[in-house]
Amino acid sequence: MNTITKRLALIVVGTLISGAALVAQETSTPKREAQVERRADRQQKRIAQGVKSGQLTPKETINLEKRESKLNKDIAKAEADGKITKKEQTKLNKEENKDSKKIYRKKHNARTQK
């Protein structure tokens, strides 16, 4: 296993753990929080599937993981006061939309993991 692959695996595992921590943080999350977290979790699974299938190169994966990490930080910041406001949800949804498009584009371009 080369260094890039090891680093990539560590990033994926770390992001999955941090995402799981966000979900486990509060068991009875209100509707907005639950929606944002479910979507972030689904996007993380899409990235992991892309790595597994070879659709994503290590460089693409690192870029996507950085975006997901920022999203997780933004979610935690929005939840810091105990709830996500409508304005915060709108901002998070826009960020998730951009991330989703990036994931799609990177998974469906001509580059593959060798």
What pLDDT digit, counting tens, does each position of 28-38 carry? Answer: 458 988 999 99
Residues 12/64, Cβ–Cβ less than 8 Å: no
Report the predicted TM-score, pTM, of the whole model to 2 decimal places.
0.71
What pLDDT digit, counting tens, does each position of 49-107 carry? Answer: 999 999 999 999 999 999 999 999 999 999 998 889 999 999 999 999 999 999 999 99
DSSP string covering the chain: --HHHHHHHHHHHHHHHHHHHHHHH-TT--HHHHHHHHHHHHHHHHHHHHHHHT-S-HHHHHHHHHHHHHHHHHHHHHHTTSS--HHHHHHHHHHHHHHHHHHHHHHTSS----
